[in-house]
Chain A
Amino acid sequence: MSLIATLARMEALREGRARPLATVRHRHLSERPMVFVPLTTAGEAGAPLGALFGTDREEPTLLVVPQPRDRDLRFAFLAQLAQGMLPYLEGYADDVDVEVRKGKDPETGEPVEVERELCRDAPQLLVPNGSGVRYVRLLGRSMRFRRTAEEAPDEPYPVPSRVPLLGRWMTHFGERALTPGSCLLVSMTDLLSRHWASGQSGLEDQHLGALLAWLDPPPGVHGSEAALRAETARDERGLLECPPAGPATDPAFDNKLLAPAITRYDAGLSGAERAVRDLVGSQLRPTWDHVWRGLDLLRELPPGDRVAARWEGDRWSYTGHRDRLRAGEPPQPKRDDAVTAAAKLVRRETDQVRLDAHEALDDPLVMAERRLAGEAFAGEVVAVEMAYSEGRSPRPRPLVSVSTHDRPHVEPGTRVFRRLAGKAQEAQVAAAEPGLVVVRLVNQMGRGRVPAEGTVPEPGDVVCLTAFEHDPRPAAPLPPPEETPWTHGGPPGEAAMGASAPDPHTAEDYL
Chain B
Amino acid sequence: MSTTLESRLAALRGSAPPRPMDARTLAALAANPGCGRRALLDAAGVDKGAVAEHLGRPAPFGQSQFSIVRGNAFEARVKADGCAELLRLLCERLGLPAPDEAALPDLSAVGPAGRAERTRQALEEATAAGGWSLLDHPMLRLEVAGSAVHLEPDAVVVRPDGRWTVVEIKSFPILDGCADPAKVGAAARQSAVYVLALRALAERIGRGEPEHTVVLVCPKDFSNLPTCAAVDVRKQLSVTVRQLTRLTRVEDIVSELPEGTTFDLALDDDRRTPRRPVEELAAAVDAVPAAYAPDCLSVCELAFHCRARAHECGAVEALGRGVRGELGALASVDEVLAAAAAGLGGAWQADGEGSAPAEHVSGGGCGVGGGTDAHGYAEDGGDFGGGDFGGGDFSGGDRRDFGDDAVTWRLREAARLRAEALAGTAAGGRA
Q: Which residues of A contact B (CB under 8 A)?
A: 1, 3-4, 6-11, 13-15, 20, 23, 41-46, 138, 141-142, 199-204, 224, 231-232, 249-252, 254-255, 259, 334-335, 360-369, 371-372, 376, 378-380, 382, 403-407, 434-436, 462-464, 503-506, 508, 511
Contact = CB atoms under 8 A, between A and B. Distances in A.
A405 B320 contact: no
B336 to A, nearest CB: 6
Interface in B45-98: 57-58, 60-71
Contact of A335 (B177, B219, B224, B319): B177
A45 B385 contact: no
Given A44-B67, A259-B66, 17 more contacts: A4-B417, A6-B316, A11-B337, A14-B334, A14-B337, A42-B63, A203-B294, A203-B297, A232-B57, A364-B428, A372-B413, A372-B417, A380-B387, A380-B389, A403-B387, A435-B386, A464-B428
B428 A504 contact: no
Chain A CB within 10 A, most for which of B62, B336, B380, B411:
B62
Interface of B: 57-58, 60-71, 171-173, 175-177, 219-225, 294-295, 297, 304, 311, 314, 316, 318-320, 322-323, 326-327, 333-334, 336-337, 340, 352, 355, 379-380, 382-387, 389-390, 392, 410-411, 413-418, 420-422, 424, 426-431
A294 B358 CA distance: 32
B70 A462 contact: no
B320 A506 contact: no
A7 B411 contact: yes
A508 B224 contact: yes
15 contacts: A8-B418, A13-B333, A20-B422, A43-B68, A43-B71, A45-B173, A250-B62, A254-B66, A255-B65, A372-B414, A378-B390, A379-B390, A407-B384, A407-B413, A505-B223
Contacts of A361: 429
Chain A CB within 10 A, most for which of B66, B221, B385:
B66
Chain A CB within 10 A, most for which of B222, B355, B411, B414:
B222
Contact of B386 (A10, A42, A404): A404
A203 B411 CA distance: 24
A429 B334 CA distance: 40
Nearest to A466: B428
Chain A CB within 10 A, most for which of B68, B71, B175:
B175
Contacts of A249: 64
B386 A367 contact: no
A506 B311 contact: no
Contacts of A362: 429-430
A245 B317 CA distance: 26
Nearest to A436: B385
A379 B340 CA distance: 21
A169 to B, nearest CB: 18
B331 to A, nearest CB: 12
B64 A7 contact: no
Chain B CB within 10 A, most for which of A141, A203, A250, A335:
A203
Nearest to B60: A232
Contacts of A503: 221-223
A6 B319 contact: yes
Chain A CB within 10 A, most for which of B177, B220, B333:
B333
Contacts of A10: 316, 319, 333, 336-337
B77 to A, nearest CB: 10
A303 to B, nearest CB: 13
A276 to B, nearest CB: 13
Given A251-B63, A254-B66, A464-B431, A364 B175 contact: no
B419 to A, nearest CB: 9
Nearest to A510: B224
A405 B392 contact: yes
A47 B415 CA distance: 48
Chain A CB within 10 A, most for which of B383, B384, B420:
B384
B411 A3 contact: yes
A200 B318 contact: yes
B387 A382 contact: yes
Given A10-B337, A200-B318, A141 B175 contact: yes
Contacts of B430: 362, 364
A64 to B, nearest CB: 15
A368 B176 contact: no
Given A365-B421, A503-B221, A378 B431 contact: yes
